[in-house]
Structure 1
Amino acid sequence: MMSGLLGRRWKGYGILLFTLALGFFILTRLDRSTLQDSNRDSHKDSEQSDRHSAVKSESGEDSTPGWDLEQENPRLIERISDVILPAADPKSILKISKEIQLGQVGQIEHVVSYFKNKKGGFFLEAGAFDGEYLSNTLYLEAQFNWTGILIEPNREAFKTLITRNRKSKLLNSCLSVHRYSEEVTFDAADVVGGILGDGPDTKGWVPADKRAKYRLRCFPLYSIIMALGNPKIDFMSLDIEGVELAVLETIPWSKVDIETLLIEVEHSNSAAISSILQSHGYRIDHMFGKQDIFYVKY
């Protein structure tokens, strides 16, 4: 009697265990199938958004993972925001070695006149060098409480820039000549540094101790502006040794608000630069010889 009862009980346990095992097996298969489908969808989205990164990684041109993204990609914009250095404390003392100049040939005197001594404006200066020498924004910051962002690719110059206590954000980067982020070989030739391979080498006069070549990350100008929150830019200074036109061609002009631009045209096609800016609603306000042109929005 007891033996029969135990036998039926063990048989019942066996059926229960088999049922549980079967259920677990079915659930596992379903979860695995769902996960595979999810991974396929995620991979497809990733391929679409990072298509340029995939192509470049396979070619071996640029092995930096996760940075080669299109200029509107939110991940790129977030990462740029993370590497932008904050402005110096407003109470800190500006550290400069000489009297503040009004530009190399008086450009900033004209800018100040155009804005009628406006206070608290916002600027973007690409090619900021050490934040003092030939600066197109230092006077605006020091005399009229402007702020903005200073972009400089030369590592040694950028180290000095950090010590100046400029009341503006800082970014050690070059500007991409494409609508995506890329890594390039940068020729850090003192104040005339540039991307290696973009035109003939005209920097032979720079002493060897002030020249170096290294890999550097270039960000699209539009992505940088987005990383700042897409502010209205009262004044943009672009002095990037010959790639001004290529950078201007990457900007989706209908999505930004830039009132005036000071563009160095000495090493660029000034007619092409004027053509593209005029097509986006700008006019030539003043020409500083063959060196710079100041453009304003209609």
Structure 2
Amino acid sequence: MRILTWNVQWFRGLDGRVDVARVLQHALRWGQQPHVIGLQEVAQHCPGLDGAGCADQVAQVRACLPRYEVFFAPAVDDWRPGLAQRQRLGNLIATRLPVLRVHPMALPYPADPTVPSMPRVLAALTVLAPWGPLRVGCTHLAYYSARQRLAQAQALVAWQHEAAQVAAAPPATRDEPPDQPFQARPHAADAVLMGDFNAPPHDAAYHALVGGAPPVWWDAWTVANPGRPQPPTFRVHEANAAAVTCDYVLVTAGLRARVRRVVVDEATTLSDHQPLLMELAPSVTI
């Protein structure tokens, strides 16, 4: 099972060209037709973004990925007088696995008047993996505000704690038709969390995610490549900027034994970030 994550910078390459199709073609080719694709910085009707114009990139993604179901979770959703169209920017999950639940979550947005900021969101699905229900989350944490980024990381730890508790003790069911609001739903204890965390390995937000005792989240790169630092994933090909490692795929403890490979595409220049690919084994021999 292959899972790919990429901050696509509204599909803008380092050559300045905005092209949804060429980015997705590369993702499909390099990722060997991933079962799940998580994208950050997907735009709808955002003319202020260089080259994006007023395009609906979510619709373009759907057109380019006919074999996938596509779910968009906007972090920014602006609708106010003077706007010709609703302007949205957020995270997207596309999958060719059966989808059991859709449950996005707004992330904390504590006040920090010292820096620019915008809301952040977790796009989240429960899909049917080869071994059973699996939660998959795609997120993009605060860039300028360390305070907001840490609060968001802590919320993602709480999200996993709560989901695991509900999976262990699911809600009672009622003797009612299956389409009513209190119907039984699948609950998955394990999850994959991917995206642009804007947190280098020394950042407090990264440590909040993976530094518990025991950890709530495990960095899949370190699981697959012990003792080897993950290559940078941001500004890798920008001449006058230091490259940064801030894009990750994280897994819960129950998935560690399934992690077979995590790789970074260090060559592509189709975004200012590099994509990551994780392979999970469908079965584990104990």
The question of a shared fold, defined as TM-score above 0.5 by the shorter chain, is answered with no
Larger RCO (CA within 8 A; separation ≥ 6):
2
TM-score by length of 2: 0.36
TM-score by length of 1: 0.35
| Greater share of strand | 2
Max Rg structure: 1
| Greater share of helix | 1
